[in-house]
Amino acid sequence: MKLLLIVNPSASSVTARTRIVIQKALSADHRLEVAATTRRGHATRLAQSAANDGIDVVAVLGGDGTLNEAANGLVGTETALAALPGGSTNVFARTLGLPDDPVEATGALLDAIDAAAIRRVGLGSVNDRHFLFHAGIGFDAAVVEQVERRGGLLKRFAGHPLYIAAAIDTWIRHYDHRRPAFRVTFPTDVDPATGQSAGGASDGGPGIPGVFAACLNTDPYTYLGTRGLSLAPAATLESPLSVATFRNLSAVTLATTLAAAVGLQSARRPRSGGRAGLEVRDGVELAEVVASRPLPWQVDGDHVGEAERLVVRHHPDVMDLVVPLASPAFS
């Protein structure tokens, strides 16, 4: 089998020794090529070229951002994506059930390749940028933007504490978390007879008003240390998206949601109107976010930019994925 290993040398868990060990393991029984990323977006072009050249599997040793770039280069092709954890959080690799150690994960990856454990999965997209596990609109994208402004070295070595500090700083100083800045609408909320919103928000307007929305292709939303933060347990790679919309980010909303997300409450499943400040919609094929001002947005932990209108879609069966044996991501 022909493999390409894409390495992000700047990722927090990538060392020269780790890279050499992984290369030797992958090349033992397979034809291996190796390429290192040098700039933003480079992994997308490397993955596209690999698919055009008939590479069977593109393995990515890096963080979730590098993995996302490679996935965007493989959408619609027959080349499979494989994740190797090299970042600080590695949400997608952990969701698939891979070990945190990249060398151990390589062993699991090789076992999956030998067993031909490759699945065709669906992805989400926001304004045509695909995402593997989630996209964020509003607050969390503002947090990611603050982290990226503080530089690569700090991000590499500070990890989770940096994100927590940035979240607190953003909540206090850099983002209006009290007043809704956008509305999320769904085609299923439109009455076909009138063309008007059949759902609507509690204040009479169409759609759900929000300060932060998370569009989820998998669960958990992210990890805090060893704990997964679950916003929508129904979100899986085998189903359409879930969209969690926060009407506000008050201290009460945050405390209630965080307690439920880490399993400290019995009612883990947020439902529409069931928890103050948060509504979750499952089975989403299409949604639209319209904002009153340019809002930051991110995909798989990478800040993309700002926009006043965002179209969220689910794309079923668009990418092959190497799946670890007995992966918890699949029933």
pLDDT in tens, 251-300: 777 778 878 777 654 344 444 444 568 999 999 999 999 999 999 999 99
Answer whether 71's CB lies under 8 Å from 57's CB.
no
Position 277 scores a pLDDT of: 85
Judgement on whether residues 106 and 19 belong to the same structural domain of the protein: yes
Judgement on whether residues 205 and 260 belong to the same structural domain of the protein: yes
Asked which of 97, 123, 149 is the last residue of a domain, the reply is: 123
pLDDT in tens, 38-75: 999 999 999 999 999 999 999 999 999 999 999 999 99
pLDDT in tens, 172-182: 777 777 789 99
Beta-sheet pairing, 182-185 with 118-126: unpaired
- The CA radius of gyration of the chain, in Å to the nearest whole number, is 20
Answer whether 326's CB lies under 8 Å from 219's CB.
no
pLDDT in tens, 71-104: 999 999 999 999 999 998 899 999 999 999 999 9
pTM over 0.75: yes
Asked which of 104, 123, 142 is the last residue of a domain, the reply is: 123
For residue 209, what are the CA distances in angstroms to 169, 176, 200, 231, 244? 24, 14, 9, 18, 11
Judgement on whether residues 27 and 57 belong to the same structural domain of the protein: yes
Judgement on whether residues 213 and 82 belong to the same structural domain of the protein: no
Residue 226 belongs to some domain of the structure: yes
Position 153 scores a pLDDT of: 47
Position 80 scores a pLDDT of: 98
Position 197 scores a pLDDT of: 47
CA pair distance 249, 252, nearest whole angstrom: 8
Q: Is the pLDDT of residue 201 over 70?
A: no
User: Which of 26, 104, 29 minimizes the C-alpha distance to 59?
Assistant: 26
Position 250 scores a pLDDT of: 81
Q: For 192-220, what is the mean pLDDT?
A: 71
Position 249 scores a pLDDT of: 84
Average pLDDT of every residue of the chain: 87
Burial classification of residue 51, based on how many CB atoms lie within 10 Å of its CB (0-12 exposed, 13-18 middle, 19 or more buried): buried
pLDDT in tens, 115-169: 999 999 999 999 999 999 999 999 899 888 888 776 654 455 456 677 777 777 8
What 3-state class would DSSP assign to 70?
A: helix
Amino acid at 149: R
Judgement on whether residues 206 and 226 belong to the same structural domain of the protein: yes
CA pair distance 62, 14, nearest whole angstrom: 7
Position 198 scores a pLDDT of: 47
Position 218 scores a pLDDT of: 98
Position 269 scores a pLDDT of: 46
* Total Cβ atoms within 10 A of residue 12: 21
Position 200 scores a pLDDT of: 42
Asked which of 123, 157, 182 is the last residue of a domain, the reply is: 123
Judgement on whether residues 57 and 170 belong to the same structural domain of the protein: no
Residue 112 belongs to some domain of the structure: yes
